[in-house]
Structure 1
Amino acid sequence: MGDKKADLILKNCNLLSVYTREILPKIQIAIIHDRIAYVGPDASHTLGPKTTVIDVKDKYVSPGFADPHLHIDQFVLPSEFVKKALLCGVTSLFSDPIDIVSVAGYRGFQEFLKLGEDLPIRIFQVVPGGLPVDVKFSNSNSLTLSQEKSAVKHPHVLGLGEVFSWTKVTLREPKTMKSISSMLERDCIINGHTAGASEKKLNAYVSSGILSCHEPINFDQVLERLRLGMWIMIREGSIRRDLKEIIPHVLSHGTYLNRLMFCSDGLDPLDIAKFGHIDHCVRESIQLGLKPIDAISMASKNNFDYYNMGKDLGGIAPGKLADILIFDDLKSIKPNKVFVGGKLVVANGKIVTSIKKKTISPWFKKTVKLKKFSKNDFLIKSKKKDVLANTIFMQTEIITKIGSTELHSKEGQISASLDSDIWKVAAFDRIHGTNQHSIGFLENFGTDIGAFASTWSFHENDMIVIGSDDSDMAIASNHIIKNQGGLVVVKSGKILASLPLQFAGIISTDSFEKVSSNFEKINNTIVDLGCRFSRPHLIPLFLPFLALPSVRILSGGIVDVKKRSYIQPIN
């Protein structure tokens, strides 16, 4: 009404109204503190002596973008990731910190929440819903039911993260069902993961109260889930890119868009620098034929409708929080100004607000609890001269199958065979200090290195070491222990590339630019030396991942996922 004067007025806006699917010209927006007070043709009644007025000059104005499902406990600290996300117009992140919890439990979850606070972006969290992946084999930390109940009392914790072992729901596994019931009783959101589920299994999963999925890789899967009342997050991230497969069919089918969103599911530093974030999804969708207003609604309004936050976020209207983007045009979709809560945080492609690096508790940098290694720690012994070995055959960086090969022992020891592309692979418990480990054989890696080691592996966080030379495997392991986490490539006793991940063994405390450079060098070094795969960093990341078939390795042994049984390395 103008009784209080605005802090900021934006005038001459071409407003993208996500509520009416239209572009409204010559709009003025008045903002008081962090909320929008007025949207209309004339905000002059809110103008006061201290009001800042910005003439948008007929540029396009939209609500801020959101990523409804990603893992920000990867690569860089939240304070570093935020710098890149804001430049892409992303003002809200919905984080599932599953790997922080798998390493550091409830204490780690609480500490990670603090790292996301007091930043010029909105970070919402969920309690990880997928731990342990398989109680028979998993070595990860997880939250108890009472800890989950305590966690959701935090104002930025919205509910349960992706329940990706959907068989736990269809088989009514007690802990999972209690978690779901507890969340529903508190009116919390529960995120889904339904890869491989269909028909009655999918019906059962949805009936439990889990109403979203980011796993559909084609339109048929999208449509089946939409028909059952689910919300779909179309994934366009570093692990999978599904947008081009889905959007054209959405258009030709005439599908309602109000339950469709974009998500990244996580981005590596090179991808966010090359492609962008949710802004990339909007650009790609527009190029594929989606109307700009619809693409922007999927990037903003729909996310907050799903999370039951539409009264505060997702559009530009009176009473809403003032998370606002200004674009020069609707093709490049690169915001030249970004406001979060009415405060300017990006101008002309640069961050114009302070982003403080948080203090990290010292214990978070001491999670690699392993003794110094020697080459003898990687020996595989046999009294037989010739043995038939079971191998983990790499079909892709992620997909494996059981293989077999004949190997020869020398002086009672079986070595890897670089000529035959047979490698040793080892998994060590580096979290609990148990010294539990397993060693087996891996096939079809195809690069000329001595060792590749990593402490970052999805949801188990064993240290994984792949090698053709036992001494190099020891050098790689000791380098990681010294750094308290990371990835490293070794050949002939020399370190060729290293990416330190000092924070919980899965996140670097270095700058985004330094991490990006080290990450690129890791992959390029392995690829340039002959690796069969373009993204070799994914191999140790997924080797212990029990949610995928067919063969995985953990510190407890080599696992046949479908049979839920251990496989011996040598028959």
Structure 2
Amino acid sequence: MVRAARGEEPGDLLVRGAQVVQPGTREVFGADVLVAGGRVAALGGAGMNLQAARVIEARGAYLAPGFMDAHIHIESSLLTPAGFAQAVLPRGTTAVVAEPHEVVNVLGAGGLSWMLEAGRTSGLRVWASAPSCVPASEFEEGGARVDAAEVARMLAVPGVLGLAEVMNYPGVLGGDAGVWSILDAGRAAGRRLDGHASGVSGRDLMAYAAAGMHSDHEATTPEEARERLRAGLWLMVREGSAARNLEALLPVLLERPRRAMLVSDDVSVDELLELGHLDRLLRTCVAGGLHPADALALVTCNPAEYWGLHDSGLVAPGYHADLVLLRNLQDFGVLETFVGGAEARPGEVTPPLPGGRVDLGPDWDAATFEPPAHWPVMQVHPDQITTEAGPPGSGDARLVVADRFGRAERAACWTSGTGMHGGTLGLSILHDAHHAAFLGGSDADVRAAGHALQAMGGGAVVVADGEVRASLPLPYAGLMSDLPPQQAAACLNAVTAAARALGCTLPYPVTTLSFLGLSVIPALKLTPRGLLDVNAWRLLEP
């Protein structure tokens, strides 16, 4: 690389005549970019006479660092890492930091190793963080339980950059010994501690930050965002399929905070193909008034700095040649994506780990699902993962959650805001323990949807009058499909259309339903053990 930079030998690739976007200096300037050994060797003009085995004429197109998603659950795309890469590489994404607690909740620590292995052959750079809350709280039990000793082992795995989102903030604030032993493991490893403090503010937020957290992606208002920045937390602005916060937080980004980034957290395959990935977020930022270099910093050098990836995130000598050639800096249309100086290509699907089947218990055929009449109604929002509590008797669709690991625990409550009636939408995806969830329908339709999930090895299904109207099999731990993205999206769109035909008004029914059991997000969430009042941190009396 040094010899190529000095002109003593040719490089591997020369991108000639580009407009280089350098987010670290907030500049756009004309330059040729020389790549050798998978890294940028030199930037220069015509006078430097850079030489390479292969030359690409940029003709004034914009060359930027490849985009990095600093916090994403690949499983939520419903794709394997290779399928995810196939969907996002053409959009300019070259790297992600995966938070694989979905597959770890189902399969245990082996799920993290599988994610990293699958990432290595995916075509993307895939790093990971070590799941900290498996299960998310004491109110649920999934397919695995991870303690501090297991977390310490995961933090030592090559490619693991830090401790994943610490969702059990009541445990942090209340001094729970198990939670604090996991924090101690993260500190002992000298790694980043990702936060997750939904609705936390004031003295509680100060206490949460004081426990050692470095970031948070749960801000939904400018006031919450500024409070987190003032508390020393890096601000991750989330824009995914279930929670859309970018528009609300754009005024804070226009203030150009030093420590901010854009993340998607959870984004489904249909949205990736239809709307894009981080390129979509960049379009929103620039249309809202942010300078293109400042917008690009939020998905390049800022996340690289946060995670300690000191040779990623810039177009600069010695940095990984993970690059994206763009038509312009308004719509961020991608002409070419490079990973390590080579044209990006999706890789091979890694075989699944054994386990993760759906087992609803031996008495499923006789099960009934009657919500307690005195429980409040879960009011669902179409574009957020938070819910609210409504008065009893005001619901219009029943929600059933059933343990899918053979323990035969089940609960039901009423919801409002979904519009679902006349049939059942069933899933084997329910953050984070990933039990089976069923929205709407009679007892018979819920049971039929459960049978369909068991037969597929997990997935999403719509049943009406005992008939399967649409389905998407997810044989990888009941969470991911090995279909190509276009086929998986077609199946998911069929499920969405079938749910809408039954009255569902949610823009992304599968994604929204999958969050109605997450026990650390206010205000009400349903687990197999009952309805949880998250703010009061207690299960309601049955």
Identify the residue that residue 70 of structure 1 maps to in structure 2.
Answer: 72
Letter in 2 for 1:355: G
Structure-1 separation of matches of 2:414 and 2:223: 38
Kindly indicate whether residue 389 of structure 2 is the aligned counterpart of residue 401 of structure 1. yes
Report deviation, 1:197: 1.8
Q: Does the 8 Å contact 1:485/1:506 carry over to 2?
A: yes
Identify the residue that residue 291 of structure 1 maps to in structure 2.
Answer: 291
Using structure 2 for the length normalisation, give the TM-score.
0.91
Which of 33, 39, 64 is the matching residue for 2:37? 33
Q: Does the 8 Å contact 1:68/1:303 carry over to 2?
A: yes
Larger Rg: 1
Structure-1 separation of matches of 2:213 and 2:15: 40
Could you report, residue by residue, the CA deviation over 1:378-400 in whole angstroms, capped at 9, with x for unpaired residues?
Answer: 2659xxxxx95535443435514
Identify the residue that residue 3 of structure 2 maps to in structure 1.
Answer: none
Q: Does the 8 Å contact 2:369/2:411 carry over to 1?
A: no
Helix, strand or coil: the match of 1:116? helix
Helix, strand or coil: the match of 2:32? strand
Structure-2 separation of matches of 1:531 and 1:317: 49
Identify the residue that residue 357 of structure 1 maps to in structure 2.
Answer: 349
Report deviation, 1:193: 1.6
Helix, strand or coil: the match of 1:499? strand
Identify the residue that residue 203 of structure 2 maps to in structure 1.
Answer: 200
Report deviation, 1:455: 1.1
Identify the residue that residue 476 of structure 1 maps to in structure 2.
Answer: 449
Q: Does the 8 Å contact 2:15/2:33 carry over to 1?
A: yes
Q: Does the 8 Å contact 2:381/2:417 carry over to 1?
A: no
Report deviation, 1:124: 0.8
Helix, strand or coil: the match of 2:445? helix
Structure-1 separation of matches of 2:439 and 2:19: 55
Kindly indicate whether residue 61 of structure 2 is the aligned counterpart of residue 59 of structure 1. yes
Identify the residue that residue 358 of structure 2 maps to in structure 1.
Answer: 368
Report deviation, 1:139: 4.0
Helix, strand or coil: the match of 2:225? helix
Structure-1 separation of matches of 2:293 and 2:247: 18
Paired residues in the alignment total 533
Report deviation, 1:136: 4.2
Structure-2 separation of matches of 1:53 and 1:396: 51
Letter in 2 for 1:233: M
- Highest RCO, 1 vs 2 (Cα 8 Å, sep ≥ 6): 2
Q: Identity percentage over the alignment?
A: 25
Report deviation, 1:371: 4.7
Which of 125, 129, 133 is the matching residue for 2:132? 129
Q: Does the 8 Å contact 2:397/2:420 carry over to 1?
A: no
Helix, strand or coil: the match of 2:74? coil
Kindly indicate whether residue 365 of structure 2 is the aligned counterpart of residue 390 of structure 1. no
Q: Which runs of 5+ in 2 are unaligned?
A: 1-5
Identify the residue that residue 384 of structure 1 maps to in structure 2.
Answer: none
Identify the residue that residue 410 of structure 1 maps to in structure 2.
Answer: none
Identify the residue that residue 245 of structure 2 maps to in structure 1.
Answer: 242
Kindly indicate whether residue 402 of structure 2 is the aligned counterpart of residue 428 of structure 1. yes
Report deviation, 1:441: 4.9
Kindly indicate whether residue 188 of structure 2 is the aligned counterpart of residue 185 of structure 1. yes
Change (3 A) 1:319 1:475: same
Letter in 2 for 1:267: V
Change (3 A) 1:455 1:12: same
Kindly indicate whether residue 449 of structure 2 is the aligned counterpart of residue 464 of structure 1. no
Report deviation, 1:103: 0.9
Report deviation, 1:232: 1.0
Change (3 A) 1:457 1:242: same
Q: Give the aligned CA root-mean-square deviation in angstroms.
A: 2.4
Report deviation, 1:262: 0.8
Letter in 1 for 2:339: V
Report deviation, 1:316: 1.0
Q: Does the 8 Å contact 1:21/1:294 carry over to 2?
A: yes
Report deviation, 1:442: 4.9
Shift >6 Å, 4+ stretches: none
Report deviation, 1:539: 5.2
Report deviation, 1:517: 1.5
Could you report, residue by residue, the CA deviation over 1:351-390 in whole angstroms, capped at 9, with x for unpaired residues?
Answer: xx352122223x14x5212356665222659xxxxx9553
Helix, strand or coil: the match of 1:7? strand
Letter in 2 for 1:180: L
Q: Does the 8 Å contact 2:168/2:179 carry over to 1?
A: no
Which of 219, 225, 229 is the matching residue for 1:226? 229
Change (3 A) 1:28 1:539: closer
Kindly indicate whether residue 313 of structure 2 is the aligned counterpart of residue 314 of structure 1. yes
Report deviation, 1:62: 0.9
Q: Which runs of 5+ in 1 are unaligned?
A: 346-352, 382-386, 406-419
Report deviation, 1:126: 0.5
Q: Does the 8 Å contact 2:164/2:195 carry over to 1?
A: yes
Identify the residue that residue 473 of structure 2 maps to in structure 1.
Answer: 500
Structure-1 separation of matches of 2:303 and 2:208: 21
Letter in 2 for 1:69: H
Helix, strand or coil: the match of 2:392? strand
Helix, strand or coil: the match of 1:507? coil
Report deviation, 1:266: 1.6
Helix, strand or coil: the match of 1:86? helix
Letter in 2 for 1:30: L
Letter in 2 for 1:195: S
Report deviation, 1:181: 2.2
Which of 77, 82, 95 is the matching residue for 2:85? 82
Helix, strand or coil: the match of 1:537? helix
Letter in 2 for 1:41: G
Report deviation, 1:300: 0.7
Q: Does the 8 Å contact 2:375/2:392 carry over to 1?
A: yes
Structure-2 separation of matches of 1:369 and 1:342: 46
Identify the residue that residue 417 of structure 1 maps to in structure 2.
Answer: none
